[in-house]
């Protein structure tokens, strides 16, 4: 069968690889759509410290069940599913705390293990999720769970006002999940296009922090108190610091972003405000179910969030184009259903002029 193999940074092509052997307890899946995210771009660029090569990428997955053990009541042959791409060791401190999402020895499909940019994969049945969703929606579940988990960490409820720094893929998931829980969400970004999509995902207010005085705008929207929750999905020292400055007294701050440089804090704010400051990583099964429910209720603008759909044959080309022009794409989906791809897929694919 065919798979997309990354031999090293910048080196990626379709190759023939062995067909997966399904073990008992696993489901053989025919891959339909794969979403790409910043992790895949970083792997392509050689800037993902967790990856080893050669590697088949792909961890945002929509697939159809081809073969499964008989007698499974929830899943059956022909059913469309998505899945959790994380495996955990079961014995580390995080796993013992039922928080396998933060497993010390986590392996993610497409990063530490071969992923799903292949015609078929075989995965443990307990990783699967069924849903009343189309294939593209199924493909968006995993990227949205990361923001959803941050919202769960912050214990967001309908009485909260939540400020969210960064409306890229991950931050957008947090905007959608917080809004889905009934909170008043304030989306903050420097890109009006992203703020527009955040609005469609449920944000009550948006602030372009390059054009507005962020502190003043936040105070105005929160009766001068600041939001109860601040979620940081950018990963820059300024936004790490601003989150504790903007949040209300006794508020919760959740960090999703990976800051690549050290951050200098006025730590007295932690004490004075008696803050809960938390990290968040990956996602758990309840996050998958919450996102699926949100998508089933049509609470997320999937068409606005997907910028490009290309056939599998053009996957390496689109990665190269994304590498050259990172701001041009938001969400890229790779379709395995070509050449019998749907008309709308073709239409989108035709609009992509490769650099």
Can you give the binding site for Zn ion, defined by CB under 5 A? 37, 39, 88-89, 92, 95, 103, 143
**Smaller CB distance to Zn ion: residue 242 or 294?**
294
| Smallest distance, Zn ion to C-beta of residue 279, A | 16
Helix (H, G, I), strand (E, B) or coil at 52: coil
CA distance 7 to 13: 8
**Smaller CB distance to Zn ion: residue 20 or 169?**
169
**Smaller CB distance to Zn ion: residue 63 or 217?**
63
Query: For residue 160, what is the enclosing H or E element?
Result: none
CA distance 113 to 319: 20
| Smallest distance, Zn ion to C-beta of residue 273, A | 33
CA distance 74 to 328: 40
Contact 183, 158 (CB under 8 A): yes
C-alpha dihedral sign at 328, 329, 334, 340:
negative
| Smallest distance, Zn ion to C-beta of residue 176, A | 16
| Smallest distance, Zn ion to C-beta of residue 169, A | 7
CA distance 136 to 22: 25
| Smallest distance, Zn ion to C-beta of residue 208, A | 26
| Smallest distance, Zn ion to C-beta of residue 220, A | 35
| Smallest distance, Zn ion to C-beta of residue 90, A | 6
Helix (H, G, I), strand (E, B) or coil at 291: helix
| Smallest distance, Zn ion to C-beta of residue 115, A | 10
| Short-list 87, 113, 112, CA closest to 101 | 87
**Smaller CB distance to Zn ion: residue 103 or 188?**
103
Residue linked to tokens 């730590």: 267
Q: How many angstroms from the chain centroid is the CA of residue 177?
A: 12
**Smaller CB distance to Zn ion: residue 65 or 103?**
103
DSSP strand pairing (60-68 vs 229-232): unpaired
**Smaller CB distance to Zn ion: residue 54 or 90?**
90
**Smaller CB distance to Zn ion: residue 45 or 346?**
45
Radius of gyration for the alpha carbons in the chain, expressed in angstroms and rounded: 20
**Smaller CB distance to Zn ion: residue 92 or 241?**
92
CA distance 271 to 256: 22
**Smaller CB distance to Zn ion: residue 14 or 92?**
92
Q: Is 289 exposed, middle or buried (0-12, 13-18, 19+ CB in 10 A)?
A: middle
CA dihedral 229→235→241→244, nearest 10 degrees, is 10
| Smallest distance, Zn ion to C-beta of residue 247, A | 27
Q: How many angstroms from the chain centroid is the CA of residue 273?
A: 31
Angle between helices 135-153 and 285-296 (to 10 degrees): 120
Count of positions (residues) in the chain: 355
């Amino acid at each position: 069968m065919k798979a997309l193999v990354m031999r090293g940074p910048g080196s990626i092509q379709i190759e023939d690889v062995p067909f997966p052997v399904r073990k008992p307890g696993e489901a053989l899946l025919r891959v339909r759509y794969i979403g790409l995210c910043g992790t895949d771009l970083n792997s392509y660029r050689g800037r993902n410290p967790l990856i080893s090569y050669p590697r088949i990428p792909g961890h945002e997955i929509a697939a159809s069940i081809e073969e499964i053990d008989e007698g499974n009541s929830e899943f059956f042959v022909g059913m469309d599913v998505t899945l959790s791409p994380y495996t955990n060791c079961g014995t580390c401190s995080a796993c013992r705390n039922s928080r396998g999402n933060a497993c010390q020895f986590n392996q993610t499909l497409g990063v530490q293990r071969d992923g799903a940019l292949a015609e078929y994969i075989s995965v443990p049945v307990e990783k699967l999720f069924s849903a009343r969703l189309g294939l593209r929606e199924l493909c968006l579940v995993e990227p949205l769970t990361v923001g959803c988990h941050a919202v769960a960490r912050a214990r967001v409820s309908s009485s909260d006002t939540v400020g969210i720094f960064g409306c890229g893929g991950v931050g957008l998931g947090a905007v959608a999940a917080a809004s889905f829980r009934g909170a008043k969400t304030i989306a903050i970004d420097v890109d009006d296009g992203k703020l527009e999509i955040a609005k469609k995902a449920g944000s009550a207010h948006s602030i372009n922090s390059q054009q507005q005085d962020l502190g003043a705008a936040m105070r105005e929207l929160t009766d001068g108190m600041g939001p109860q929750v601040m979620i940081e999905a950018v990963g820059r020292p300024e936004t790490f610091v601003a989150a504790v400055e903007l949040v209300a007294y006794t508020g919760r701050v959740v960090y999703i972003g990976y800051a690549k440089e050290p951050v200098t804090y006025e730590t007295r704010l932690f004490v004075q405000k008696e803050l809960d400051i938390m990290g968040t990583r990956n996602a758990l099964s309840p996050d998958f179910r919450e996102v699926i429910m949100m998508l089933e209720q049509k609470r997320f603008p999937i068409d606005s969030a997907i910028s490009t759909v290309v056939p599998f044959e053009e996957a390496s080309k689109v990665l190269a184009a994304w590498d050259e022009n990172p701001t041009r794409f938001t969400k890229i989906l790779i379709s395995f259903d070509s050449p019998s791809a749907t008309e709308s897929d073709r239409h989108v694919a035709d609009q992509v002029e490769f650099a």
